Amino acid sequence: MKESRIFAKFTTLDIVLMAMLATLNGVMTVYLSMINKTLNSLGGPIATSSIVGLYMIYGLLAYYIIRKPGTAVIAYSFGAVVQSFMGSVYGIASIIAAAVCYMVVAELVFALLRYRRWNAVSLMLAGGAMVPLWFIVAANMFGYMHWGWKVLTITLVVRILSGIVLCGLLTKMLGDALNRTGLLKRFELGRASRAE
């Protein structure tokens, strides 16, 4: 991707896409909360950690499609606003803290990749990398420390694997599937695939 394209301004379409993905995430989160409760009753924090990647996917998917610096900041900000309006059992502070953790790490990962690598490995790296910072913040917010080091370690590993698969790999699969429909031809993902 050319340097001028990487640092191009966000278009109205970019903003609309990020808002739509954030809204879809808000709706999905309602259903994930129910699944989370079931998993918690079956296997506690380790079981609930298996779906963590799904909570982050909307911002990474926006980044994969749009490919401009700042995408994570806008997408996860939209997500935090939508979730705040919809409500959360964990509180608004946790919604905002999670969004900030995700956006900071995603922006850092793609900056290190110089906004040029968009393969499955890069997306899986980003998906896994977004987990630890929020895990540390959440551990202090919600008192995870009482779980003990063994459970904490297993939980973190399961969350990172969930981030790699259910956020990173699934982003690649969803983005490519959407691209094949022709709906993304006006976004950078669509342009990049036509140039190949």
Judge contact between 65 and 172, C-beta under 8 A.
no
Domain assignment present for residue 66? The answer is yes
Helix axes 92-112, 71-86, angle to 10 degrees: 170
Nearest residue to 131 (alpha-carbon basis) of 37, 185, 54, 196: 54
Assess if residue 196 is contained within a domain: no
**Nearest-angstrom CA–CA distance, 118 and 168:** 11
Mean pLDDT of 65-93: 92
Number of domains into which the chain is organized: 1
Structure-model confidence comparison of residues 148 and 97, the more confident one: 97
pLDDT at residue 90, as a whole number: 76
Residue 112 is assigned to a structural domain of this protein: yes
Is 53 within the bounds of a domain?
Answer: yes
pLDDT tens by residue, 94-125: 999 999 999 999 999 999 999 999 999 999 99
Q: Is residue 7 part of a domain?
A: no
Instruction: Give the pLDDT confidence score for residue 191 in this predicted structure.
Output: 92
Does 6 reside within a domain? no
How far, in Å, CA of 61 to CA of 123, rounded?
A: 9
Q: In this predicted structure, what is the pLDDT of residue 187?
A: 96
Q: How far is CA 116 from CA 88, 109, 113, in A?
A: 36, 11, 6
Does residue 34 fall inside a structural domain? yes
- Record the pTM: 0.93
- 51-72 pLDDT, tens digit per residue, is 999 999 999 999 999 999 999 9
Residue 195 lies in a domain: no
Q: What was the pLDDT predicted at 177?
A: 97
Task: Work out the mean pLDDT of the chain and round it to a whole number.
Answer: 92
Range of the domain at 97: 12-190
Q: What is the pLDDT of residue 2?
A: 56
